[in-house]
Amino acid sequence: MLYWLKLKRIRIREQKKMYKTNLKLYKKIIEYINNSNLKYIEKEEALHQIMDAILQSEAEAKSVDVTMENYEEFCKSIIKEYTNDKGAAYTILHHLQRSIINMLIILVLGIVFLNVLHPEINTGISTMLLIPAIGIAFILMPYRHDRKQRKWSSIIYFIAVLWPISFVTETPWGEIIDNILIPNTNIILMGMVLIVAAIEVYKRVSDRKTINSGKC
């Protein structure tokens, strides 16, 4: 069993010991942290630390430092602690990797769905599928954990994503792009997988260097 899954199982069991009000707050924190760009193991480590602090406060009959009013700022500070040790290149590539993975999932599901609806058509990556996938993966998903950003991202989505769909598909460029994309769907998807894999290799090498330098 993966270590982070073991941590998650322990957390789910232990968090049931919290008072109802604190558990409600903790679930908000879980949602926020899980929607962040931290790695799975980092999320569980952070949630365990927060859970231990809350349970310790309850055991000592003390009030919990974080409240419903400031939990988002508290979560941001936790996330910042984990990201401060990583360079700008690491952070950018990590966000890019997450967005490409989201985009890859959307594209594959879209292609499968269209093949089920229209099995007679040679369905692949088209402008009608690619542009919304880019918008959702790179605009909507990265900001879904922040309510203020979610409102703005929805506006950006309609302006920066839906408008190009209607513009491109109604011009000869739409057909030209489709003639390039659809026959090369498998190559594009494989290229996205290779990019994700290459970024993961870079991240693992970078993490190993960070750990080794910390031991010295």
Q: What is the average pLDDT value for the chain, to the nearest integer? A: 80
Judge if 137 and 43 occupy the same domain. Answer: no
Judge if 78 and 93 occupy the same domain. Answer: no
pTM: predicted TM-score of the whole model, two decimal places: 0.65
Q: Given 60, 83, 106, which residue is the final one in a domain?
A: 83
Q: What is the pLDDT confidence band of residue 191, given thresholds at 50, 70 and 90?
A: very high
Judge if 104 and 122 occupy the same domain. Answer: yes
How far CA 135 is from CA of 17, 22, 77, 120, 143, in Å, comes to: 41, 36, 28, 28, 12
Judge if 141 and 198 occupy the same domain. Answer: yes
The domain tally of the chain equals 2
Q: What is the pLDDT confidence band of residue 189, given thresholds at 50, 70 and 90?
A: very high
Q: Domain containing 165: what range?
A: 88-215
User: Residues 71, 33: contact at Cβ < 8 Å?
Assistant: no
Of the candidates 122, 98, 99, 97, the one whose C-alpha atom is nearest the C-alpha of residue 111 is 122
Angle, vertex CA 11, rays to CA 9 and CA 15, nearest 5: 130
Q: Quick: pLDDT tens for 17-66.
A: 898 888 888 988 998 888 777 878 888 888 998 999 888 888 888 877 77
- What is the percent of the chain where pLDDT is above 90? 11
Residue 74 has pLDDT above 70, yes or no: yes
User: Residues 6, 16: contact at Cβ < 8 Å?
Assistant: no
Q: Given 31, 62, 83, which residue is the final one in a domain?
A: 83
Judge if 60 and 118 occupy the same domain. Answer: no
